[in-house]
Amino acid sequence: MMGLGRIERYVVGYTLLGVLIWLAILSSVVMLIQFVELSSQVGTRADVGASSILQLTMLRLPSLVQILLPFCFLFGGITAFVGLNRRSELVAMRAAGVSAWRFILPSAAAAMALGVLVVAGVNPMAAAMNGQFELQRARLMANYLGDQPKDIWLRQGDDTSQIVIHAKARDARQGAVTLRGVSLFIYEKNAKGQPEFRRRLEAAEATLMPGFWRLKDVREATAGDSSIRSDTLTIRSTLDAEAAMESLASPEAIAFWRLPKAIQLTEQAGFSASGYRLRFHQLLATPLLFAAMAVLAAAFSLRLTRLGGLAGLAGAGVALGFVLFFFNQFAGALAKADIIPLFAAAWAPAVVAALAGLTLLCYTEDG
């Protein structure tokens, strides 16, 4: 901002103000909807008050707002440029010889910078708060008899062995991973690199410690031999507490900086990491998507008011934003089904939006 002229700073500041206004509006709507949804889920199933539900809503809010941020840049940009246009400020700027590119590109650059900030800072915070949301909701629902526990499956592995872990339930305690009713299926790789079953462990409880699983009340069975019982037993683990919880979470619930490790651990365990890779590329494309939305907002708002049709163009810009959102979801679904490459699915919406905005600007501004 310090290197920009007065006109550029004015337009960028006005655009960011529009983004903040729409962020507040959409956040309020999402917060209200989430509060009502949690009230119907948790409020009727546990003895909790409105303050607890509100706390859950605030923990969930950053994850939901991340999805709506591209719309904030689109709607905020349209609001800002339409306002400047209706007050004839854009007309005065262009009559003074100021090209539209001079104040649009700084706005796009500011949107891209904010996209980097969101990916690097807001996303990890939102992922941590989402983890707290899941933990607190599990605590509130722990004593509700109508909620049947779901089976838990984990998998860990290295170059020599793989372990499949099945548990009936886990304790909802912060900073610890404790599983109940655990079965461990241990495989070792043969000379051809294929896993072969070696033994099975049944334990009443398994707690993940740094570098190993600590099992209690264990029964060990090997093919062709009788079972062996022991009070405690330790099994080496390639997981830490955070990685284990990430294995139970969706890719959207993992922080940006943790995704490369999650991809590595998932592939070591023999699972497909396509969901994590897609999420990683989508986050990398976020700054470009924000900049593209800022360019689209300007492209649909520069038509002179006296020529008419400005409201229709602004409405078309809003409609295009929703089309891009569904295009992003559709491309992600195709990538998860291995129909199109992950890289193309993640970057295509941002690239298409940027090219569409630049093309429309070139047509309207440069003829």
Q: What is the pLDDT of residues 87-145, one digit of tens each?
A: 877 778 777 777 777 778 888 999 999 999 999 999 989 888 887 887 777 677 654 43
- The reply to whether 255 falls in a domain is no
Place of tokens 């090997």: 222
Residue 174's nearest CA partner among 81, 107, 242 is: 242
Query: Does residue 16 lie within any of the structural domains?
Result: yes
- Domain-ending residue, one of 213, 237, 261: 237
Digit-coded pLDDT (tens) for 143-157: 443 444 467 777 777
Here the tokens at position 120 are: 């690097």
User: Model confidence at 24, in pLDDT bands (50, 70, 90)?
Assistant: very high
pLDDT of residue 116: 94
Decide if 242 is inside a domain: no
Q: Is 84 part of a structural domain of the chain?
A: yes
Specify the amino acid at residue 350.
Answer: A
Pair 112, 227 in one domain: no
CB 360 within 8 A of CB 302: no
Does 292 share its domain with 333? yes
Handedness of CA 254, 258, 263, 265 (dihedral sign): negative
Mean pLDDT of the chain: 80
Proportion of the chain in helix, strand, coil states, percent, rounded to 5: 60, 15, 20
The Cα 52–Cα 50 span in angstroms is: 5
Residue 295 has pLDDT above 70, yes or no: yes
Residue 33: is its pLDDT beyond 80? Answer: yes
pLDDT tens digits for range 51-83: 888 888 888 888 888 888 998 998 988 888 888
**Residue 144, pLDDT score:** 46
| Residue range of the domain that includes 61 | 6-141+276-365
Same domain, 280 and 137: yes
Least confident of 19-23, 111-115, 136-140, 302-306: 302-306
The reply to whether 135 and 38 lie within a common domain is: yes
**Number of structural domains in the chain:** 2
Say which residue, 21 or 339, is predicted with more confidence: 21
Residue 188 near residue 199, CB atoms below 8 Å: no
Q: Same domain, yes or no, for 123 and 200?
A: no
Residues 52 and 137 in one domain: yes
The secondary structure of residue 258, as a DSSP letter, is: G
Q: How far apart are CA 103 and CA 117, in angstroms?
A: 22
Same domain, 171 and 211: yes
Q: How many CB atoms lie within 10 A of CB 248?
A: 14
What's 148's DSSP letter? Answer: P
Mean pLDDT of 22-35: 91
Percentage of residues in the chain with pLDDT exceeding 70?
Answer: 83
Contact residues for 358 (Cβ-Cβ < 8 A; gap 6+): 295
Q: What is the pLDDT of residue 224?
A: 64
Question: What is the per-residue pLDDT across 216-242, written as a single tens digit (0 to 9) for each?
Answer: 888 888 766 667 888 888 888 877 666
Burial 186-211 (b: 16+ CB within 10 A, else e): bbeeeeeeebeeeebbbbebbbbeee
Instruction: Give the pLDDT confidence of 245-293 residue by residue, as tens digits.
Output: 655 566 777 888 888 887 877 776 666 678 888 889 989 999 999 999 9
Would you place residue 50 in the very low, low, confident or very high pLDDT band (cuts 50, 70, 90)?
A: confident
Are 121 and 95 found together in one domain? yes
Task: Name the DSSP class of 144.
Answer: -
* Residue 4, pLDDT score: 63
| 312 assigned to some structural domain | yes
Answer yes or no: do 136 and 174 share one domain. Answer: no
Q: Which helix (H) or strand (E) holds 218?
A: strand 212-222
Tell how strand 161-170 and strand 195-209 pair up. unpaired
Question: In this structure, what token pair is assigned to residue 8?
Answer: 């550029």
Model confidence over 328-349: pLDDT tens digits?
A: 888 888 887 778 888 888 898 8
Radius of gyration over alpha carbons of the chain, in Å?
26
Same domain for 63 and 130, yes or no, is: yes
Give the pLDDT confidence score for residue 128 in this predicted structure.
83
Statement to judge: residues 188 and 79 lie in one domain = no
Whether 152 and 170 have beta carbons less than 8 Å apart is answered as yes
On whether the CB atoms of residues 152 and 172 are closer than 8 A, the answer is: no
